[in-house]
Amino acid sequence: MIIRSIRLKNFQSFGPEPTSISLEKLTYILGPNGAGKTAVLIALSRLFSPLPSQRKIRAGDFHTPISEGFYRTSDSQPTLWIEVDIEFPEADDNNIHPSIPPNFSHMRIDTEDDVPRIRVRLTAELAADGEIDEKLEYVLSANENNEPETTATMSRYDRGHIEVHYLPARRDPSEHISYTASSFIGRTLRAADWSAERESLNQLMSDVTNVLVANDAVSSIGEQLTAEWSGLHHGAFFSNPSIAFGQGELEGTLRQLTLTFSPSHEQSPLPFERLSDGHKSLLYISMVLAWQSLSRRILTGEKTCLDADRLRPPVHTLIALEEPENSLAPQYLGRIVRQISEACKYDDMQALFATHAPTLLRRVAPEAIRFLRLDVKRQTSVHRIVLPADDEAAEKYVRQAVQAYPELYFSRLVILGEGDSEQVVLPRILEAAGIAEDDASVSVVPLGGRHVNHFWRLLTELKIPYITLLDLDSARHGGGWGRVRNALRQINSLSETPLYKDSDINALPDWDTNQPFPQLYDSDSSKSSPLQALERHNVFFSGPVDLDLMMLEAYPEAYNVTPVSHTDKMVIAVLGKNHSNIQHLDSSLLKLFDDYHKKFKLRSKPATHLSALCSMSNEQILKKLPGVLVRLIDSVRSELLELPE
In eight-state DSSP terms, residue 409 is G
**Per-residue pLDDT at 415:** 93
Query: Closest Cα to residue 84, out of 260, 318, 315, 268?
Result: 318
506: in domain: yes
- Give me Rg for the CA atoms of the chain: 34
Q: Count of residues for the chain? A: 645
Please report which residue ranges of 255-320 form alpha helices under DSSP H: 277-299, 308-311
- Cα gap 237→617, rounded to integer Å: 94
Kindly state whether residues 350 and 479 are assigned to the same domain: no
Cα(625)–Cα(62) distance, integer angstroms:
52
Residues 398 and 483 in one domain: yes
566, 590 in Cβ contact below 8 A? Answer: yes
pTM recorded for the entire structure: 0.82
Alpha helices in 433-501 (DSSP H): 452-461, 481-494
Distance CA 336, CA 614 (A): 40
Question: In 10 A of CB 404, how many CB atoms?
Answer: 11
Which of these three, 327, 345, 361, is where a domain ends?
Answer: 361
Task: Give the per-residue pLDDT at 321.
Answer: 93
One domain for residues 402 and 332: no
The whole-angstrom distance between residue 336's C-alpha and the CA centroid of its chain comes to 14
Q: In one letter, which amino acid is 76?
A: S
b/e sequence 560-587, b meaning 16+ C-beta within 10 Å:
ebebeebeeebbebbbeeebbbbeebee
**542 and 621 inside one domain:** yes
Residue 23 forms part of a structural domain: yes
Give the domain-ending residue among 294, 326, 361: 361
Pick from 438, 447, 486: nearest CA to 466 = 447
Q: Which residues in the chain come in under a pLDDT of 70?
A: 67-75, 170-173, 175-182, 246-248, 437-440, 448-450, 522-527, 644-645
Q: Is residue 309 part of a domain?
A: no
Is 152 inside any structural domain?
yes
Is residue 398 a part of any domain in this protein? yes
Query: Residue 298 domain-assigned?
Result: no
Residues 354, 448, single domain; the answer is: no
- 320 and 437: one domain? no
Residues 510 and 599 in one domain: yes
Beta strands 26-30 and 132-142 are: unpaired
| pLDDT of 255 | 77
Distance CA 442, CA 407 (A): 9
Q: 394 and 357, same structural domain?
A: no
pLDDT score of 181: 59
What angle, rounded to 10 degrees, do the helices at 420-432 and 547-554 form? Answer: 40
d(CA 544, CA 566): 17
- The single-letter code of the amino acid at 50 is P
pLDDT reported for residue 263: 83
What letter represents residue 456's amino acid? W
- The tens digit of pLDDT for each residue in 234-249 reads 888 888 888 777 666 7
Question: How is 204-268 classified by DSSP, letter by letter?
Answer: HHHHHHHHHHTSHHHHHHHHHHHHHHHHH---SSS------SS-S-HHHHHTT---EESS-SSSS
pLDDT (tens digit per residue) in 358-390: 878 877 888 899 999 888 888 999 998 877 777
How far is residue 518 from each of residues 204, 490, 529, 544, 583, measured CA to CA in Å? 94, 18, 8, 8, 14
* Same domain membership, residue 69 and residue 139: yes
In a domain, 185, yes or no: no
> Which among 361, 395, 422 is the end of a domain?
361
Residues 6+ apart with CB under 8 A from 184: 176, 287, 288, 290, 291
Residue 180 confidence (pLDDT):
60
Residue 322 sits in the same domain as residue 436: no
Residue 361 to residue 445: CA distance in whole angstroms: 16
Tell me how many domains the chain contains.
2
Query: Do residues 213 and 219 lie in contact, with contact meaning Cβ atoms separated by under 8 Å?
Result: yes
Residues 136 and 55 in one domain: yes
CA nearest neighbour of 118 among 78, 155, 86, 148: 86
Amino acid at 491: I
Query: What residue numbers bound the domain in which 574 lies?
Result: 385-642
**Claim to verify: residue 427 and residue 344 sit in the same structural domain:** no
Task: Return the CATH number at 40.
Answer: 3.40.50.300
Position 64 in a domain: yes
- Find all residues with CB under 8 Å of 62, minimum gap 6, and list them: 10, 11, 78, 80, 124, 126
